Amino acid sequence: MESVKENQLRNQNNISIRGVLQTEVETFPPSVQQLFQLDLSANTSQDMKSGEQSILQIPELQFYQLLDEKEQKIYFLQREKQALNNKVERLRTELAGVKEEKMGKETTFSLKIKELEEALNNETKCRVEMEASLARRLRKWPRTLAEKQRNHQPQARKLTQVQEDLGCLCAQWEEEKTFRLRKRRDQYLMQKINRPKRS
């Protein structure tokens, strides 16, 4: 009974070892995998034993060198992965900043457009009110002008009469002035003629 249990435990351990070895060997380069010469598809404990013997054929120093190379490769891959993750995170941050800036600009443009629309609406409203007021004034203007003309007609007639009277007075004054000047000239000539001559 003990031998059967031992065989079962050994088979389970061999299966676990085979899985680990399969995972580990697949990460090595093809040239290194050939050194192991291990048939990972083995299903019997005898095959596993032969596989273990093949692994044990590798010198210990070379085995550790392979492990070191693998660890270095894993380390560099992890560094590259971290660098790529950092780059992705930086790009995400930049993209978020660009989106935020774009949203800010869109908000600013929307506010400016809204302000311009409000200003245009106010200007249109003022223009309509001014046009309506001007139309009302134009409708009232002929009647107001006629009323003013009727109110000013007597004054206009008086002004015309005054202008005519003034014209007549000016004409009379010119005639009188001409007459007086002519009379004075005649008097002067008569005095000059009648003045006795000196001998």
Burial (CB count <10 Å: 0-12, 13-18, 19+), residue 19: exposed
pLDDT of residue 101: 86
Q: Which pLDDT score, from 0 to 100, does residue 16 have?
A: 53
Q: What are the tens digits of pLDDT across the range 133-185?
A: 888 887 777 776 667 667 767 777 788 888 888 888 888 888 888 888 888 88
Contacts of 70 (CB under 8 A, 6+ apart): 27, 28
Q: What's the pLDDT band for 8 if we cut at 50, 70, 90?
A: low
Whole-number pLDDT of residue 35: 52
In angstroms, how far is the first alpha carbon of the chain from the final one? 202
DSSP 81-111: HHHHHHHHHHHHHHHHHHHHHHHHHHHHHHH
Instruction: Tell me the C-alpha distance between 91 and 102, whole Å.
Output: 16
φ, ψ of residue 42 to 5 degrees: the values are -70, 140
Cβ 55 vs Cβ 36: under 8 Å = yes
Q: What is the pLDDT of residues 59-76, one digit of tens each?
A: 778 888 888 888 899 999
CA distance 48 to 12: 11
Task: Report percent pLDDT > 70 for the chain.
Answer: 65
Question: Tens digit of pLDDT for each residue in 21-55?
Answer: 556 556 655 555 555 544 444 444 455 455 445 55
Residue 89: the pLDDT is 92
- What is the average pLDDT across 119-145? 82
What pLDDT, on the 0 to 100 scale, is given for residue 12? 55
Distance (Å, whole) CA 145 – CA 163? 24
Rg (CA), the chain: 64
Spans of all domains in the chain: 1-58
> What number is the average pLDDT over the span 7-20?
54
| Nearest residue to 46 via CA among 7, 19, 4 | 7
Q: Which pLDDT tens digit goes with each residue over 76-102?
A: 999 999 999 999 999 999 998 888 888
